[in-house]
Chains A and B, each alone.
Chain A
Amino acid sequence: MRIPPQLERIWPSMPVIGALLFTSVLLLLFGASPLESYAAMWEGAFGTQAKLLSVIAFWIPLVFSSAGLLLTFKAGLWNIGIEGQIILGSIGASWVALNVDAPSYLLIPLAILASMIAGALWAALTGLLKTRGGVHEIFGGLALNNLAIILTNFLISGPWQPPEGGTFRGTQPFQDGVLLPRFADSRFSPLSLVLLVVAYGLVVLALRNTFWGLKLKALGQNARSAFLLGVSSNREAVIAMMFCGALAGLGGGVRVLSWFDSLRQSISGGIGYLSLLVVMLAQFRLLWVPLIALFFSVVLNGSITLQLRTQLHSSLGGILTGITVLFMLLFGDAKRLGFNTLSEEDDDE
């Protein structure tokens, strides 16, 4: 059986459709109306301007880290440490927010720069552990994720605790000058959207048109041949990790500077792990990444309203995303389901 080209183009959306159908069956089993539930979810995501802005504000850091992961995945690296890189980005921005006294037009660029540097250095650690120490990036990344969480907890209950006493809740609110200008009293900052468009454009350019992007691609597909063709695998691996870390860190910075106004516990909210799923789901289709991220953002934000509206728990959003991922793994390799994809067609010699 051969997949027609039209179908192949929308193949990445198949898991989403499959998951929606599957979840509908689940809802029916629980005696809830799927239509009503999805309507509530839609309402929760797009019902009011505030809700829509919230969806976008959540989406922005998610796309930042997804953009970073495009680079590392291209190079064949499993950057599970992305979660820690987001957290370190938050910490970097918080350091500027709590320690630097400057006018806003200096403070904001400084905070953003600090978040990128912190994320990049944290990612470089994973890269160096891999290339110098032989520690696989998955294990190095997981360990550094835990360290990043511990570091946050230490900071908010220790050196950066609010004057009224240390709790594990967070630092005191930042000075106003460092917060990104927000739109209509929401958590959405247009400035972060501008940064995102620029960053995403640069990533696309790097992957499509630069020599560096080509090296990453070669490395990810066959490290041995890439080496023989002159690509220094260790160096490129560390650099790819650092760029990814910088983007993830920027996402973390946006999170403390606009979504919150202080450094909190579990600051990343699982955005890092979510972005891994986004990029895997998109399978390197660059334009699909923002769309899939948007889908996740809609589902997760929408399910909060779902709980208020119906008796169903908001974890339905989690179930829906989880099942999407399972369907993605199932549909991801079309060949395994017995289809010939278009791209394999011309390989027969």
Chain B
Amino acid sequence: MRVELNNIRKSFGSVHANDGISMTLESGRVYGLLGQNGAGKSTLMKILAGYQSADSGEIRLNETLTQFDSPAAALRAGIGMLYQDPLDFPPFSVLENFQLGRREGIFLDQKTASRELLALGKRYNFDVDLDERISNLSPGERQQLELIRLLAGGANVLILDEPTTGISSEQKQQLFDSIRKLAREENKTVILVSHKLSEVQELCDHVFVLREGQLAGKSEIPCPMDKLVKLMFAKMPPRSKRPAYKFGQAVLDVRDLHVETYRLRTENLNFSVRAGEVLGLAGLEGSGQDLLIKALAGLLTPKSGEVLLRGEDITRRPFHQRQRAGIAYVASGRLEEGLIADLSLVEHMVLSTEKPGFLVNWERAGEATQDRIAKYQVVGQPASRAKQLSGGNQQRFLFAMLKPALKLILMEHPTRGLDIRSANWIWDLLNKRRDEDTAIIFYSADLDEVIERSDRIAAFSGGVMSRMVNAAETSVDELGHLIGGQQ
């Protein structure tokens, strides 16, 4: 099916997620859609798959102007999207799950459904065990089932959102073979949303690159890596004008660390961070940097390896013990992880105090809170509840709660949602902590922030941590390659 997107626009508040994107996709081809986080890939694909509607612009399928109000409507029109997190029902059996997606009558027709499912499995080389529970399947197998569900539903256009995250390399090869077969033999249109340059090179015929909500460029594949990297990443941001600082001794040593969740595994992590040093982790979201931060914070138990804080082994220490030992963790979700919507700022401040005593002196706590929020420029009163603050003020307040004299600060997206001035202010205060020999490790979706604020940078790609580069000497090209998974 020929798909035409014309001048698609979509805004969330003041953010233009899609700012007039046009592209044409032909049958029988595999297209890559590349871009950093926030470039607008997901928004565009969700519009095409009927999960959200565009503010303006048109979608034409085989020249016919089309509009969907739901994913089901999109699938009826022939467009199916495979999500990173499969939309299946873990407690169900494979057959039950398949039947749920089919249009069944009042009574379930087991025989036809199982015949159909087995036939589809055979056609695309997927092993299908009808009676297995979904929860017992690997992510790759669940993905295959989802793919079958979409194909059985009549999808002619298949959108695959980061399909290789969390699956084994054999399963990846199997998936790629099936995709090629779908395009070449069955004339389907396939769109691969990815941030892995190598995969796009391997599988696709064409590539579209998005940047900041616009189409930055398109190209035939093969094409030189440099060209793609330049399209994906904007120009070099200004370097920070931080005063030179002489790093102290190692605060943190990570040795052969191996962290794993059901989605992703990252291993062979070896590095040290010195007192006063800022280590920035680059990479697209969910590439492994979050696992490292959570393992260092004590929220994920590593499979193996060691974490030493000033020479002391803390690998098995739980979160609260590490907190007392001088590690602070600032999570990315403010009202989910960090603040409590209905509690006042004073109450937060008292909770985060080390030894508050049995009875709370609300008057004194109120004064202390007033001082702290003035210092961190939080617009609010000690009695304000957390949910009454704006997003930026919530973020500043999270920093206001950091204890003095920390050994290590771990941060996820430290200045997300802040304007430049507030971000500078936060980083100034963080940099002052160097005098207390505090080390900082953070990751951010904003590559500019990583380059600007770090001393050293490591990039994550599919769970693999790159070599460390010196932030003052690196280039966008170099980082782009590292983020894209090339060493």
**Interface 1/0 per residue, B73-108 and A, CB below 8 Å:** 000000000000000000000000000000000000
Taking the nearest CB of chain B, how far is it from the CB of A288, in angstroms?
Answer: 19
Assess whether B340 is in contact with A232, with CB atoms less than 8 Å apart. Answer: no
Taking the nearest CB of chain A, how far is it from the CB of B402, in angstroms?
Answer: 12
A212 to chain B: closest residue by CB: B358
Partner pick for A214 among B336, B337, B351, B390, CB 8 A cutoff: B351
Partner pick for B387 among A214, A217, A224, A347, CB 8 A cutoff: A347
A:57-87 near B, CB below 8 Å: none
Known A211-B357, A214-B351, A230-B320; contact A221-B342, beta-carbon cutoff 8 A:
yes
Q: How far is the CA of A209 from the CA of B331 in the complex (A)?
A: 29
Partner pick for A218 among B336, B347, B356, CB 8 A cutoff: B347
Q: Does any Cβ of A come within 8 Å of B319's Cβ?
A: yes
Could you tell me the dominant secondary structure of chain B's interface residues? loop
Assess whether A218 is in contact with B387, with CB atoms less than 8 Å apart. Answer: no
Contacts of A231 in B (CB 8 A): 351
Partner pick for A226 among B323, B340, B360, CB 8 A cutoff: B340
Interface band, chain B: 20 to 34
Taking the nearest CB of chain A, how far is it from the CB of B298, in angstroms?
Answer: 11
Assess whether A228 is in contact with B329, with CB atoms less than 8 Å apart. Answer: yes
Number of interchain pairs (Cβ within 8 Å): 66
**Interface 1/0 per residue, A225-242 and B, CB below 8 Å:** 111111110000000000
- Tell me how many residues of A have a C-beta within 8 Å of chain B: 22
Assess whether A214 is in contact with B340, with CB atoms less than 8 Å apart. Answer: no
B401 to chain A: closest residue by CB: A229
Known A211-B356, A221-B341; contact A232-B320, beta-carbon cutoff 8 A:
yes
Partner pick for B360 among A211, A224, A346, CB 8 A cutoff: A211
A222 to chain B: closest residue by CB: B340
Assess whether B340 is in contact with A221, with CB atoms less than 8 Å apart. Answer: yes
Assess whether A230 is in contact with B352, with CB atoms less than 8 Å apart. Answer: yes
Taking the nearest CB of chain B, how far is it from the CB of A284, in angstroms?
Answer: 11
Q: How far is the CA of A228 from the CA of B337 in the complex (A)?
A: 7
Q: How far is the CA of A231 from the CA of B348 in the complex (A)?
A: 11
Q: How far is the CA of A23 from the CA of B216 in the complex (A)?
A: 70
Greatest chain A CB density within 10 A among B336, B340, B342 is at B340
Given contacts A209-B359, A214-B350, A222-B341, 14 further A-B contacts (CB under 8 A): A211-B350, A211-B357, A211-B359, A217-B343, A224-B337, A225-B337, A225-B339, A228-B329, A229-B348, A229-B401, A230-B323, A230-B351, A230-B352, A349-B388
6 A/B residue pairs, CB under 8 Å, sorted by A: A211-B358, A218-B340, A218-B347, A221-B340, A221-B342, A225-B340
Using CB atoms and an 8 Å cutoff, list the residues of chain B in contact with chain A.
319-320, 323, 329, 331, 335-343, 347-348, 350-352, 356-360, 362, 387-388, 390, 401
